[in-house]
Amino acid sequence: MKRIALITGGSRGIGLGIAKCLAKQNFDLAINGMRKEEDTLSSLEELKALGAEVLYCRGDVGSAEERQGIMDKIKSHYGRLNVLVNNAGVAPKERKDILEATEESFDYVLKTNLNSAYFLSQLAANWMIEQKGKTDDFAGSIINVSSISATVASVNRGEYCVAKAGMSMATQLFAVRLGEFNIPVYEVRPGVIATDMTSGVKEKYDKLIGEGLMVQPRWGLPEDVGLAVTALAIGDFPYSTGQVIMVDGGLTLPRL
């Protein structure tokens, strides 16, 4: 029986890169996104061509009601869930210095980037515990896609940094709580990845990469993150719950 993975924000960018890698490793997929299904068809067909069955679960993961709807749809269609990948995220609508940033922007980013992952993990964890009680060989895991912004301060998008730092602690909390059930929880921390979200700062980072920002002098790709997530999802790190996997080309390595 094929394993089932839910990837939030899985129809584009890093999420799609993750979904492709999981499809290649014989996972069937539940893909969450905010766009209408017809606007994601090219991505969904690409995943199906890799051999995956794909269920599209449209919904705002920042909404408790819609989170529950996503899980209910997966239960109805697949009847099981092995891997939750909390990847959905937004940037501030306007980058503003923390001395000027608004509470509205803070709430918007935290609701989508942190609240969603925390409470979707709660839903998934309880279902995984239930599945484990019914099936001896059930294997489940939760993988949080955060960012180097969990520890690297950017004062013009403080709300994003706070959300990712919170996700890092949420990873540790769920790892501790789910240890007794042998359900590992991991954090994957990408650096500068070429996606729609970073397209507006391409010129800035092209220059910085050329000046030695990373040890490996190139942009990260969604598939770089996907390969790391997949190694965790298939169980290659069974004794490493709560750990952080850096996917940043050496950007955060201390150097002289």
| Confidence band for 199, pLDDT divided at 50, 70 and 90 | confident
171: how many CB neighbours lie within 10 A of its CB? 27
The alpha carbon of 228 is separated from its chain's Cα centroid by a whole number of angstroms, namely 11
Q: Decide if pLDDT at 128 tops 90.
A: yes
In this predicted model, what pLDDT tens digit does every residue of 155-188 receive, in sequence order? 999 999 999 999 999 999 999 999 999 999 999 9
Percent of the chain past pLDDT 70, that is, above it, reads: 100
Tell me the domains of the chain and their CATH numbers: 3-247 (3.40.50.720)
Strand order in the sheet with 244-247: 54-58, 27-33, 3-7, 83-86, 141-145, 185-190, 244-247
CB atoms within 10 A of CB 36: 10
Predicted confidence band at 197 (pLDDT cuts at 50, 70, 90)?
Answer: confident
CA-angle at 60, arms to 57 and 66, nearest 5°: 70
Render pLDDT for 54-103 as a digit per residue (tens, 0 to 9): 999 999 999 999 999 999 999 999 999 999 999 999 999 999 999 999 99
Tokens for 219, please give them.
């942009």
Q: What CA–CA distance (Å, rounded) separates 116 from 86?
A: 8
> Residue 190: is its pLDDT beyond 90?
yes
Beta strands 141-145 and 244-247 are unpaired
> In whole numbers, what is the pLDDT of the chain averaged over residues?
97
For residue 127, pLDDT beyond 90: yes
DSSP letter assigned to residue 111: I
What is residue 134's predicted lDDT score, i.e. its pLDDT? 95
CA–CA distance, 31 with 204 (Å, rounded to integer)? 32
202-215 CB burial, b ≥16 within 10 A, e <16: eeebeeebeeebbe
> Is pLDDT at 196 greater than 90 in this prediction?
no
Q: In this predicted model, what pLDDT tens digit does every residue of 30-50 receive, in sequence order?
A: 999 999 999 999 999 999 999
Sign of the CA dihedral 146, 8, 105, 107?
Answer: negative
pLDDT at 136: 85
Q: Is the pLDDT of residue 198 over 90?
A: no
Number of other CB atoms surrounding residue 235 within 10 Å: 12
The pLDDT, as a whole number, for residue 236 is: 97
Which residues belong to the active site?
Answer: 160
* pLDDT band for position 201 (cuts 50, 70, 90): confident
pLDDT of residue 141: 98
Q: What is the pLDDT of residue 176?
A: 98
Which H/E stretch holds residue 6?
strand 3-7
Which 8-state DSSP code applies to residue 253?
S
| pLDDT for 175 | 98
Predicted local distance difference test score (pLDDT) of residue 149: 97
Q: Per-residue DSSP letters for 123-166? A: HHHHHHHHHHHH-TT---EEEEE--GGGTS--TTSHHHHHHHHH
